[in-house]
């Protein structure tokens, strides 16, 4: 039954794609910009690549804005905090979220990792006040979207997060943005051009977008 459902979803996705690209000349009405318009892949490969590059640059500090343990949905969310704890040489991992349930879940799932701390806080405030020198910044936090913004509100909040934290980023550092396979405007829309002005280069895009600064030849 699951196989049939997956096939039906793929058929629907192709029909929707054909409708948008052929009958609507590739245009997407702003009122339809409410979900992913590209095939979604699990984020684990991206997380592993990021962890590998983090170790290559001898990174020590990871700050994750928007965290959690997602149970049955973990294959789709990645539970990135576990990747950082298990696959990096980080000495400090701060997993920040506004949801007490998510913070509790992260704390319980990572008790064996001394480097990791689950933090209950507003991510934007945390980035403003932290004195950490950040080697990897992951942005994957929830923000309310005004009814008439269709993604622009989220793009602006993510840019604000970057602006709050950019002076805390190490000269050699990484930024990872989740859910960037969404129709724009979205999380990465405003951050990428702003970060590029600060010396970051886009390493890859897709399910997640990875940017790096001070890394001449990333081997991932």
pTM for this model (two decimals) = 0.85
The pLDDT value given to residue 179: 92
Closest CA to 69 of 85, 45, 51: 85
Reported in sequence order, the residue ranges of the chain that DSSP labels E, i.e. its strands, are 61-65, 92-97, 116-120, 134-139, 169-178, 201-204, 208-213
Calpha distance 146→1 (Å, rounded): 38
Answer yes or no: is pLDDT of 9 > 70.
Answer: no
**Top-ranked range on mean pLDDT: pick from 31-40, 64-73, 74-83, 197-206:** 197-206
Pairing verdict, β 92-97 and 116-120 = parallel
Identify which has the larger pLDDT, 185 or 211: 211
Q: Where do the structural domains in the chain lie, given as residue ranges?
A: 1-32, 38-213
Going by pLDDT thresholds of 50, 70 and 90, the confidence category of residue 20 is low
Closest CA to 208 of 196, 192, 193: 192
Superfamily of 38-213 according to CATH: Vaccinia Virus protein VP39 (3.40.50.150)
The per-residue pLDDT for range 144-203, each reduced to its tens digit, is: 887 778 889 999 999 999 999 999 999 999 999 999 988 888 999 999 999 999 999 999
């Amino acid at each position: 039954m699951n196989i049939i459902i997956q096939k039906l979803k793929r058929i629907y996705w192709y029909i929707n794609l054909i409708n948008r690209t052929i009958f609507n000349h590739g245009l997407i009405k702003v009122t339809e910009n409410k979900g992913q318009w590209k095939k979604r892949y699990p984020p684990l490969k991206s997380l592993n690549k990021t962890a590998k590059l983090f170790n290559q640059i001898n990174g020590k500090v990871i700050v994750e804005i928007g965290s959690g343990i997602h149970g049955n949905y973990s294959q789709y969310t990645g539970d990135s905090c576990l990747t950082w704890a298990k696959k990096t040489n980080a000495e400090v991992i701060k997993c920040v979220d506004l949801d007490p349930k998510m913070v509790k879940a992260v704390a319980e799932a990572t008790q064996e990792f001394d480097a990791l701390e689950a933090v209950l806080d507003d991510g934007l405030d945390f980035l403003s006040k932290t004195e950490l020198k950040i080697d990897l910044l992951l942005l994957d936090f929830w923000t309310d979207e005004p009814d008439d913004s269709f993604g622009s509100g989220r793009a602006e909040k993510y840019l604000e997060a970057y602006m709050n934290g950019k002076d805390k980023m190490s000269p050699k550092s990484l930024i990872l943005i989740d859910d960037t396979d969404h129709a724009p405007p979205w999380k990465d829309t405003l951050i990428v051009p702003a970060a590029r002005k600060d010396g970051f280069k886009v390493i890859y895009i897709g399910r997640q977008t990875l940017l790096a600064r001070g890394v001449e030849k990333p081997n991932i």
